[in-house]
Amino acid sequence: MRGLQHLEDSNSSVRLRAALSAGTTPDPRYIGKLIERCAIEPEFYVRDMLTWALTRHSASVTVPRLLDELRSERAQARSQALHTLSKIGDRRAWPAITRALLTDADDEVARSAWRTAVVLVPEGEEPELAGVLATQLGRGERETQLSLSRALVALGEGITPTLRTAMADPDPRVRAHALATERLLRDPDAGFEFAIGEAKRVVALGTGSQEG
């Protein structure tokens, strides 16, 4: 347990090595401290190592602790717990991926929730998930919109009716985002920048979603 004290070191390289060590030699006693550090660790690459270390422990112990974090008032705690759950991939966590998390006011939490939901969604529940995700179309800046589009595209062709509905939304941002997502679904290699640029042009011209 002494090595875990280094998770609080002011040097990020020391914290990284401590997280690596905790994952290399897993011990259930480490889990609480690793999760606690996830909530406050400022460096992305250290957080990623903390997540890796947690995936090296038994899901039967880590998942319940991570689910508790989803109720934290600290946005980073919720976001990192979601990210770790997506890496563990234990579908027993699915009921905890609530509409509240999928529409969280914090963009990082919402983005993590979208990615996690796509990993954990049970077969047959994709349309319902797509419906919730579609309520977030038009939200945020490029990175947030790209995350949502990727999540929707990962659900497959079944999202098309949901996107078609969104293309008729009164909000031009929603219409453009839905159209860009549909284009990515049809042509994943097109790239989001191209798709969103074309979609905004189409919406601005008022030419609808049909190809000429």
Q: Are residues 187 and 94 in the same domain?
A: no
Q: What is the CATH number for 87?
A: 1.25.10.10
The pLDDT value recorded for residue 114 is: 98
The pLDDT value recorded for residue 150 is: 93
Whether the per-residue pLDDT at 212 is higher than 70: the answer is no
Q: Are residues 110 and 5 in the same domain?
A: yes
Q: Which two tokens stand for residue 72?
A: 């934290």
Q: Are residues 104 and 2 in the same domain?
A: yes
Average pLDDT over residues 101-110: 98
Whether the per-residue pLDDT at 48 is higher than 90: the answer is yes
Whether the per-residue pLDDT at 186 is higher than 90: the answer is no
CA distances from 42 to 48, 77, 135 (A): 11, 12, 30
Domain range holding 156? 126-212
Q: Are residues 130 and 114 in the same domain?
A: no
Q: Are residues 111 and 137 in the same domain?
A: no
Q: Are residues 85 and 173 in the same domain?
A: no
HSE-CB at 65 with a 13 A cutoff on CA atoms is 22
Question: pTM of the full predicted structure?
Answer: 0.88
Average pLDDT over residues 167-185: 92
Q: pLDDT tens for residues 128-175?
A: 999 999 999 999 998 999 999 999 999 998 999 999 999 999 999 999
The pLDDT value recorded for residue 201 is: 73
Domain count, the chain: 2
Tell me which residue has tokens 């031009």.
Answer: 172
Higher confidence at residue 183 or residue 54?
54
Amino acid at site 20: L
Q: pLDDT tens for residues 72-101?
A: 999 999 999 999 999 999 999 999 999 999
Q: Are residues 198 and 164 in the same domain?
A: yes
Domain boundary pick from 120, 152, 177: 120
Q: Are residues 90 and 187 in the same domain?
A: no
Chain centre to alpha carbon of residue 207:
33
